[in-house]
Amino acid sequence: MAEDLVTVTIEGTQIAVPKGTTIIEAAKQAGVLVPHYCYHPSLPSPAVCRMCLVEVEKAPKLMPACVTTVAEGQVVHVNSDGARKARQGVLEFLLINHPLDCPICDQAGECELQDYTFQEGRAGTRYSKDAKRYNPVEDFGPDILYVANRCILCTRCVRFMDDVAQTPVLNVSERGDRAFIGIDEDQLLDHPWSGNVVDLCPVGSLLSKDFLHKARAWDLDKAASVCPGCSQGCNISIDTRDDVVVRLRPRPNLDVNRHFMCDYGRMDYRWLNRGDRVEAPLLREGQRLHAADWDTALDRFGQLLRDAAGSAVILASGRMSTESLGLVRSLVDRLDVTAAVRVPLGEEAPLAGIPHLALRRERTPNADGARLVGYGTDWSAALAAVPRAGIVIVLDAALSAEDVAVLQSARAPVVVLGTVADDWLRLASLVLPVTSMAEENGTYVNRDGRLQRYQQARSQPGMARPAWWVAGEVLGGPGPDADAPATAAEAFDLLARRYDAFAGLSHGDLGFSGRVLAGAGATASGSAGGTR
């Protein structure tokens, strides 16, 4: 059934939008931003801030764009004199009691109050004293601070906890000009998704203790990425300062995580900054590993693969990209292969108000991508095959003491493509430095079979290269005419030619929201048993 469309004109631009669309969302499609504070597309709209007032022709008064739906033939003026004057009045009232502490506020540079005041606020104030003042900071929970003096009572945080998290621990206490966001003295803001209130706050009233005073917004470089914390595949932004990851924030994707991410994923970034990295290829000469250049290391890797006979074992991390997993798997195609990724498990933590959104039990982002390129999740079976293997490849997997003990029983060469300089690397015949997901471009496949791209956020340490590059160089062979992929997009093209699940796709087809693979997702993460 065709969707009913309504034709409206907003700031001189005529558009057709579905019936029931609010003016504020219709304006976005017309390329017009309606200033707002209390409105958020993933929260109920209370129309309390009155910042989004617009002029609708033939209407007797200004209308709040966040709750007013479009009507056929409607003509809307967002920037008329009346609408701008109303917004200027709202800003003036907000700034009566708002402290001018932008130089020390973490929100400076990302603050909607700053932006709209600069855009259309008054040049000065008619009020000079008697501003209300509260205690400077309230501790709301493990990671959340509340600065009541900055609060503009948009109530986004309250509505998130009430309607999305469905854990009503926040409220608007008192009334009138004495109102503030309160929390029950016997409760804490420690919900597994509570960090989202910091992202939702349009000013610097709710702050993250973890990010407090770490960086100014204009010092940060941002890269679109995918959360590596679990199989949900939430879209995120990796923020770096001076090549150090300082925070992860949710990036909107209405089909995956809407505008949210869990606190586990938000805080799981410090491993990306580890300093104990493998920064150069290491070749075994006698009893010791010696640093070498890439040409020598790749030649040695190729020779070890050619000498291998019988079977091969690949022990891989589920944080590796689909490109890396697929091309490394292709290196041992002529052998009988047992390949597995480790899938750590934890407690599932759903976000009650958003269907199909949760911190998943499978604490790895690419178990399904690994399955599509020939890996299983039976780690024990893969370890059991190590003593009989003709070659063992460890693809940045975190090994326990028991795993290392099994690895010591390997009679064949052990090749490690790794990031961290662990003690057990002394067992390897060859160690090749590879990049983490923050240092490369690549793709993950989430539990619903959605293939999503992530982008490089920081530079590669030392001589480290993506694992897909290492495998591609070996597959391409030596010489100037070698057909080795130079980019992650070219590496993915090799996968698309080899694996039916990716046939006909390219990085360019995925955009920033990803694409569900045909037939994928029917078997959820962890469904793969052994590996052949």
Domain boundaries, the chain: 5-92, 128-219, 282-433+462-485
Q: At what angle do helices 467-476 and 488-498 cross, to 10 degrees?
A: 60
Residue from 393, 413, 433 nearest 291 by CA: 433
| 58-104: pLDDT as tens digits | 999 999 999 999 999 999 999 999 999 999 999 999 988 888 889 99
Residue 440 confidence (pLDDT) above 90 = yes
Name the CATH topology of 5-92. Ubiquitin-like (UB roll) (3.10.20)
Task: Indicate the residue type of 105.
Answer: C
Look at residue 185 in the predicted model and tell me its pLDDT.
Answer: 83
Residue 331 confidence (pLDDT) above 60 = yes
| 227-236: pLDDT as tens digits | 999 999 999 9
| CATH 3.30.70.20 correct for 128-219 | yes
| 273-297: pLDDT as tens digits | 999 999 999 999 988 999 999 999 9
| 188-226: pLDDT as tens digits | 999 999 999 999 999 999 999 999 999 999 999 999 999
Task: Indicate the residue type of 455.
Answer: Q
| 468-477: pLDDT as tens digits | 999 999 998 7
Residue 20 confidence (pLDDT) above 80 = yes
Q: Fill in the DSSP letter of residue 164.
A: I
Residue 1 confidence (pLDDT) above 80 = no
Nearest-angstrom CA–CA distance, 141 and 430: 47
Contact 25, 41 (CB under 8 A): yes
Contact 340, 375 (CB under 8 A): yes
Nearest-angstrom CA–CA distance, 331 and 322: 15
Contact 471, 329 (CB under 8 A): no
User: What is the arithmetic mean of pLDDT over 380-409?
Assistant: 96
- Overall size of the chain counted in residues: 532
Which residues does 251 contact at the CB level (< 8 Å), separation at least 6?
A: 224, 225, 235, 236, 237, 512
Nearest-angstrom CA–CA distance, 20 and 69: 5
Paired strand residues for 454: 442
Nearest-angstrom CA–CA distance, 362 and 20: 38
Look at residue 520 in the predicted model and tell me its pLDDT.
Answer: 61
Look at residue 524 in the predicted model and tell me its pLDDT.
Answer: 42
Mean pLDDT over all residues of the chain?
93
Nearest-angstrom CA–CA distance, 391 and 415: 8
Residue 306 confidence (pLDDT) above 70 = yes
Residues 317, 322, 328, 332, CA torsion sign: positive
Residue 401 confidence (pLDDT) above 80 = yes
User: What is the arithmetic mean of pLDDT over 10-37?
Assistant: 96
Kindly provide the residue ranges of all beta strands, DSSP E only, lying in 434-532, ordered along the sequence.
442-445, 450-454, 515-516
Q: How confident is the model at residue 336 (pLDDT cuts 50, 70, 90)?
A: very high
Q: What percent of the chain is modeled with pLDDT above 90?
A: 88
Tokens of 413: 């060469």
Residue 183 confidence (pLDDT) above 50 = yes
> Which stretches of 20-78 are DSSP H helices?
23-29
Tokens of 488: 């992650």
Which residues does 145 contact at the CB level (< 8 Å), separation at least 6?
A: 137, 138, 139, 206, 207, 208, 209, 212
Residues 381, 383, 388, 394, CA torsion sign: positive
Name the CATH topology of 282-433+462-485. Rossmann fold (3.40.50)
